[in-house]
Chain A
Amino acid sequence: GENVEQHPSTLSVQEGDSAVIKCTYSDSASNYFPWYKQELGKRPQLIIDIRSNVGEKKDQRIAVTLNKTAKHFSLHITETQPEDSAVYFCAAEDNTDKLIFGTGTRLQVFP
Chain B
Amino acid sequence: DAGITQSPRHKVTETGTPVTLRCHQTENHRYMYWYRQDPGHGLRLIHYSYGVKDTDKGEVSDGYSVSRSKTEDFLLTLESATSSQTSVYFCAISGSDTQYFGPGTRLTVL
Residues of A within 8 A of B (CB): 6, 32, 34, 36, 42-46, 49, 89, 93, 97-99, 101-104
Contacts and interface: CB of A to CB of B under 8 A. Distances in A.
14 contacts: A6-B42, A42-B103, A43-B103, A45-B101, A49-B98, A89-B43, A97-B31, A98-B33, A98-B48, A98-B58, A99-B99, A101-B43, A103-B40, A103-B42
A46 B102 CA distance: 12
Residue of B42, B48, B97, B101 with highest tally of chain A CB at under 10 A = B42
B90 A43 contact: yes
Interface of B: 1, 31, 33, 40-45, 48, 58, 90, 97-104
A65 B58 CA distance: 28
Given A6-B42, A49-B98, A97-B97, 20 more contacts: A32-B97, A34-B98, A36-B101, A42-B103, A43-B90, A43-B103, A43-B104, A44-B43, A44-B90, A46-B98, A46-B99, A97-B31, A98-B45, A98-B48, A98-B58, A99-B45, A101-B44, A103-B40, A103-B42, A104-B42
Contacts of B103: 42-43
Q: DSSP class of B's interface residues: helix, strand, loop or mixed?
A: strand
A89 B58 CA distance: 19
Contact of A34 (B41, B45, B99): B99
A13 B69 CA distance: 48
B12 to A, nearest CB: 17
A53 to B, nearest CB: 13
Contacts of A34: 98-99
Contact of A46 (B43, B58, B100): B100
